[in-house]
Amino acid sequence: MRTEAINRVRLVFSLFDANGNGRLEAEDFDLMSSRVVEAASGSDESAKTAMRVAFRRYWETLAAELDADGDGRISYDEYVRCVLSPERFDATIAAFADALAALGSPAGDGLVARPRFVALMLAIGFDRPNIDALFDAFGPTETDHIPVATWVEGIKDYYAPEKADIPGDLLVGSPAA
Ligand SMILES: [Ca+2]
Ligand SMILES: [Ca+2]
């Protein structure tokens, strides 16, 4: 198990605990979903609906796979076990990544502008310096865009337990000066 992967998982757990009670539950994903969709001004309704569906599926997958004590909530100890069987989450993560990155490109041109990326990542709860560091690591164009596909792959890598020294690690802690 890579330390970097555990750090990434810990960060996601803290952000997805949107109501801050130390457990993941359906309400957290509803809150997060609302925040992200609200930040996606300019996206069409079908893209917003796809995001809501992806968040719901995300929660339902966690509840089905990780709620070891069956109390309808996911503790951190339950959540961290997701890294032991990542293949069970691949399809859910892929759908989530596609929906999120699609919100980043409302024009449907396959490109995500930095302000849009920042707005969506702030809505999830990441810190601004980390978000900018990640965007820079994705190698933006001269017009400060990244391809949707780059973001999708970055999200999948973020959740891959065997990956280290990836752009997504820049979301954890303070970005290097
Ligand atoms: Ca919670
Ligand atoms: Ca539980």
pLDDT, tens digit (0-9, with 9 covering 90-100), for 126-147: 999 999 999 999 999 999 999 9
- Give the closest ligand to the alpha carbon of residue 16: 1
Residue 146 lies in a domain: yes
Residue 167 lies in a domain: no
pTM: 0.94
We report the CATH number of the domain holding residue 67 as 1.10.238.10
| pLDDT in the model for residue 176 | 58
Domain that holds residue 63: 3-161
Smallest Cα–Cα separation from 2: which of 143, 149, 160, 168? 160
80, 9 Cβ separation under 8 angstroms: yes
Question: Does the pLDDT value for residue 156 go beyond 70?
Answer: yes
| pLDDT in the model for residue 68 | 96
Distance 31 CA to ligand 2 centre (A): 19
Alpha-carbon distances, residue 24 vs 39, 59, 65, 139 (angstroms): 22, 8, 13, 33
- Give the closest ligand to the alpha carbon of residue 65: 2
Mean pLDDT over the full length of the chain:
95
Between 175 and 162, whose confidence is greater?
162
DSSP secondary structure letters along the chain: --HHHHHHHHHHHHHH-TT-SSSB-HHHHHHHHHHHHHH-TT--HHHHHHHHHHHHHHHHHHHHHH-TT-SSSB-HHHHGGGGG-GGGTHHHHHHHHHHHHHHT-TT-SSEEEHHHHHHHHHHHT--HHHHHHHHHHT---TTSEEEHHHHHHHHHHHT-TT--S-GGGGGSSSPP-
Residue 140 lies in a domain: yes
- Give the closest ligand to the alpha carbon of residue 77: 2
Residue 106 CA to residue 44 CA, distance in Å, equals: 7
The alpha carbon of residue 142 and the mean position of all alpha carbons in its chain are separated, in whole angstroms, by: 26
* Mean pLDDT of the 108-112 span: 95
Q: What is the number of structural domains in the chain?
A: 1
Residue 127 lies in a domain: yes
| pLDDT in the model for residue 41 | 86
Q: Which residues surround ligand 1, an ion (CB under 5 A)?
A: 17, 19, 21, 23, 28
Residue 75 lies in a domain: yes
pLDDT tens digits for range 15-65: 999 999 999 999 999 999 999 999 998 899 999 999 999 999 999 999 999
- Give the closest ligand to the alpha carbon of residue 23: 1
Residue 33 lies in a domain: yes
Question: Does the pLDDT value for residue 175 go beyond 80?
Answer: no
pLDDT band at 72 (very low <50, low <70, confident <90, very high): very high
